[in-house]
Structure 1
């Protein structure tokens, strides 16, 4: 019994120290690792959050772009950072699901090496076809694929990317005989689909929407909760009976593993507040994404669910890791 009182004293002191840390945090600038190059959707969403959060936290949030390896270089840097709240990062469905599913022996664990804080934004995905393909909706597309087994191709921005795995899921669900044509980036894929070199294209909506609006691509389905105001006549995958691929791309805020709960709560509270600000929501929507926020537990569940779904696809489709991205 004589050990109990000192132990309780230690616990009380530790609790007070944690509470004090949360009250004073942050006392210096915060680094936000964005695992992709400046100018892309991930970078833009990260910078929007950083600008708004800086004002609320009373300290600068400095963006550090660590591009390379499909987002793995920046993710590794974050995983190895001190868990003190002064190095945070942006996680995406690519860095924390597709990459790991395709490369299970990779250098970081999407679940164990990070602390989820909140989702920040979601982006619709879209399936389009070249306008010369004689189809206008999903039933016609499936009939066309069945009539031309092995001859219909789908383009994506790279092997083992989110859209490759979406295409693989589509292939499996529909029992289609399709050929994947990977490119080094969605921009190159878009050019070839418009040019008629590839029939189908799986992409994020912001990259394809201008070409859809210019009637250079024909949309067949979107991955979103409801039909989009910008494409009101295009059904969601869920409407078409493909609920398991009706999944948007997401971007969220994470820290290294074992980030103190009090700091997680502080960052989550700030994130919920800033992502509800009209000016922040407007800026995010201009990118083609929808602003959001979640609890740490909800975001952690979204990461795990995305990873499990893509791991299943990689296994059933026999997809192998290709570091060249081609």
Structure 2
């Protein structure tokens, strides 16, 4: 009888343990069981915000829980990125990564940046890539990229180029161009790419280094002349515009990107769930079409691949800032 009691007790213990692990498994599999907050570190209406909303809306449908975008702009994205870095690593506060927040800010603000882009986040995936473009006012005395470079070399310091602000990613794109080509031009910073594009169209500045979506309408209307793009191949929308790699500058042929991050310490299982949902969303025809309207191409790469992209841009930005002695003064 005692042996029977011992066997029964043992079976009860095993069943209890199994039940406990089973319950834990069910609880874990339930992620997400509430809405997910997604911090966009820029104001509403910009490229970062638009791409984030397109993809996360579909991701929410895949996950069965809403992904709620919250805009936290300021300081070149540093305010929103800092808040995201301090969030609980439970999968319910995520953020959007850009070249500005993950590479340019750390290069320009190495001493006072309140987060570490390489240590405080776990990459989930790159949502989408966007071409960069070099463009001029149609009155500029250069029809091609090579003629543009030659004009700058023949007249150092005569011409101007606009950007979305000092130490913005577009500023660094222009500086990288000048360093690679050995040219000189006067940088004119603006409070955003929109005003810079407006002045490029009006002729107040001669040229512009921009993300293509901001300028595509003006290029199509003939109010700006695109000379080269940073993209793996020529775009169907601009078949006559060569890539920077074609022009002999592969080091400049880097697109902008917008991706998803989780705070450091987020369990791998949650990262996997989010990554799978993002990949499914980025294969949806409506999402693809919406991104293409913005001049963006879906990515959906692995966390490791996205981490590599971040590190490459991080190193690039530091090199450009150091060579150009660029500061935020």
TM-score by structure 1 length?
0.92
Describe the SS at the equivalent of 2:136.
strand
- Where has structure 1 moved over 3 Å in runs of 4 or more? 12-22
Shift of the alpha carbon at 1:317?
Answer: 0.8
1:216 paired with 2:223, answer yes
Query: In the alignment, which residue of structure 2 is the partner of 1:113?
Result: 120
Q: How many angstroms apart in 1 are the aligned matches of 2:49 and 2:162?
A: 24
CA positional deviation for 1:20? 4.9
Decide whether the 8 Å contact of 1:34 with 1:65 is kept in 2: yes
Count of residue correspondences: 311
1:321 to 304, 307, 328: 328
2:214 is equivalent to residue 202 of structure 1: no
User: Of residues 179, 183, 189 in structure 1, which corresponds to 2:190?
Assistant: 183
Q: Aligned pair in 2 of structure 1 residues 13, 184: CA closer, same or farther (>3 Å)?
A: farther
In the alignment, what sits opposite 1:244?
A: 251
Cα deviations across residues 142-183 of structure 1 (Å, max 9, x unaligned)?
221122111111111111111110111110011101211111
Q: What SS does structure 2 have at the residue aligned with 1:173?
A: helix
Give the Cα separation in 2 of the matches to 1:117 and 1:319. Answer: 31
8 Å CA contact 1:146, 1:177 repeated in 2: yes
Normalising by structure 2, we get a TM-score of: 0.91
Deviations 1:81-139 (A, max 9, x none): 00000101111111111111111121111110111000001111100011111101122
Partner of 1:9: none
Q: Structure 2 CA distance, aligned partners of 1:145 and 1:13?
A: 73
Q: Distance in 2 between matches of 1:230 and 1:86?
A: 38
Question: Equivalences for 1:39-58 in 2 at 5 Å?
Answer: 39-58=45-64
User: Rg bigger for which structure?
Assistant: 2
| C-alpha deviation, 1:21, in angstroms | 5.0
Matching residue within 66, 83, 94 for 1:88: 94
CA distance in 2 between partners of 1:14 and 1:226 (Å): 54
In structure 1, distance between residues paired with 2:100 and 2:22: 39
Structure 1: gaps of 5 or more residues: 1-11
Report deviation, 1:13. Answer: 12
Contact 1:32 1:64 in 2 (8 A): yes
Equivalent position of 2:233 in the other structure: 226
Q: SS in structure 2 opposite 1:271?
A: helix
Q: How large is the RMSD of aligned CA atoms in angstroms?
A: 1.8
Residues 246-296 of structure 1: per-residue CA shift (max 9 Å, x gap): 011100000111110010011111111111111111111111111120101
Q: 2:323 aligns to what SS in structure 1?
A: helix
Q: Secondary structure at the match of 1:320?
A: coil
Distance 1:48 1:137 in 2: 35
Judged with a 3 Å threshold, the aligned counterparts in structure 2 of structure 1 residues 133 and 96 are, in CA distance, closer, same or farther, namely same
**For residues 139 and 285 of structure 2, what CA distance do their matches in structure 1 show?**
41
In structure 2, what is the equivalent of residue 32 of structure 1? 38
Tell me: CA distance 1:18–1:62, structure 2 relative to 1, closer, same or farther (3 Å): same
> 1:70 corresponds to which residue?
76
Give matches, 1:303-322, under 5 Å: 303-322=310-329
Gaps of 5+ in 2: 1-17
TM-superposition CA deviations, 1:38-92 (whole Å, max 9, x none): 1111111111122111111111111111111111111011000000001011111
